[in-house]
Amino acid sequence: MLPPLRAGVAGLGTVGASVLRLLERQRRTLELRTGRAIVVTGVSARSRGRDRGIDLSNAEWHDDPVALARSSDIDLFIELIGGADGPALDSTKVALEAGKSVVTANKAMLAHHGLALAKIAEAKGVGLRFEASVAGGIPIVKTLREGLVGNSIERVYGILNGTCNYIHSRMEAEKISFADCLSAAQKLGYAEADPTFDIGGFDTAHKLAILTSLAFGTAVDAEAVAVEGIESITLDDLQAADDLGYRIKLLGVAKRTPSGIEQRVHPTMVRKSSAIAQIMGVTNAVVVNADAVREMTLAGPGAGGDATASAVVADIADIAKGDRTPGFGLPVASLAPLERAPLQAHQGGYYIRLSLHDRPGAAAAVAMRMAESQISLESIIQRSQPGANADAPVPVTFITHATHEDALRHAVDAVVADGHIAAKPQVIRIERE
C-alpha cells in the first residue's frame, strides 16, 4: 500500500469542519478506494479556541495558512478560506510552488486566477482540483472535464446560486415581495448580510466562467460574462410568466455561437414543462447540450457543509489515487483564447412588460416601434388592475418571437422616447429548450 496522503486544511468554517467529519466517517472506504490512508496532519483557521465539534488533537495548528501551505508535513493543501485574493490566493500559490497538490472550493479565486494557478500546478507536476467551486455537491466539473470528453458541447446553462432560486421560488409560491423573501433568506442563512454578490449575479458569473472553460476548452475569462441580477423582478413578472406558461430563474448561460462564446447571467424565462423549471428552493441544476448525449441535466444541493464537503472529498480521493489531469481539462497552453460573442448579437425570444399610459394611440405606437425593428410578437397580455384609477397606466406584457438583442433594445428605447410609458420597461430573455 502507498504511504498515507498527508493533508492540511485551511479554513475550518462550515465546509472545513464538514470535510474533516466526512474524511473520518469514510476513512476505511476511502483507503480501500484510493489504496492509501488519508490523514489530516495540519490545520489553519482564524480562531484557535472555537469549538467546532471535531477532534483536532492530531493535527498541527498554524495561525498562518501560508505557513501550513509551506509545511513539510503535508502533501496536499485544501483551501477553504474563500476570497479571490489575500490569504486564499497567497497560500494556494505557495502550496503549488512547493510541489503540493491543491483542492479548493474557491470559485472567485479560480475565476480570476485559475489559469495562473493551473500553470504552476502543471510546471510542478501536481494536481489542482476544484469540484466544489461550482454547484456544491453536483459533480459537474468532473462531468465536463472527463465524462463528456467524447462530446462537442454547444451550450451549458443552469441555476448556480441557491439564494436567488430560493427567492424566486418563494415569491412565486407565496406571493410575497422580493424584499420580504430576501430578508427571510438572510434569517435562514441562505443570504449574507450584504447579499449583493448573490442577488447581483456575480457569484453565478464566477461559476459560469469556470464551466465555460471546461465546456469549450477556452481560457477562463470572468470579465467576459454579461451580468444582470434579480433585484428588478417583481410579483407582476412572476405572475405574467405563470400566465404564459413560464417560470423565471436566474440562469448562467454559456453557448457556442457563430460569433464566439456567449457568457451571460440574467433572470430568464423558461417553460414550466422544462427540467430546469422544476428546480425550486436552494437546489442547483446544470443542463448540458452536446452532440452525443443530446441533453443532460444534473441537479442537487448547491451549497451547505455536507454537500460541498462531498465534492471536496471526491477531489481529495482523486489526488490520493495519483490523478494529475489538468484542472481545466487541457494544459493551459492548449486552452484557446475566449472569443467573446457580443451580447448585442444574441438571438432569442423576449418578455417585455410596459406600464402603458391609457390614451389613444399608445398601443399602436408600441406596435409600430416593434414592427420598425422587425420584431414579431408571439403574444400580448393586458392585465387590468382592480380598483385602479381610470387614468392609471395599464400593465401590458409582450412575448416576442426570436429576434436580435440589438433590435429589441432599439425598439424599447424608441418606445421610451415616445413618452407612452410611465415606468422603466422590464425586459427578460427567454431560454428555449
Residues involved in catalysis: 207
What letter would DSSP give residue 131? G
Rg (CA), the chain: 24
Q: Which three cell numbers stand for residue 126?
A: 501536481
Contacts with 177 (C-beta within 8 Å, 6 or more apart), sequence order: 171, 235
CA 199 – CA 186 distance, rounded (Å): 12
- H or E element: which one contains 330? none
CB of 185 within 8 A of CB of 168?
Answer: no
Exposed/middle/buried for residue 175 (C-beta within 10 Å: 0-12, 13-18, 19+): exposed
* Phi, psi of 194, deg, nearest 5: -105, 100
Q: Which residue has the cell 512547493?
A: 98
CA 83 – CA 345 distance, rounded (Å): 33
CA 22 – CA 312 distance, rounded (Å): 10
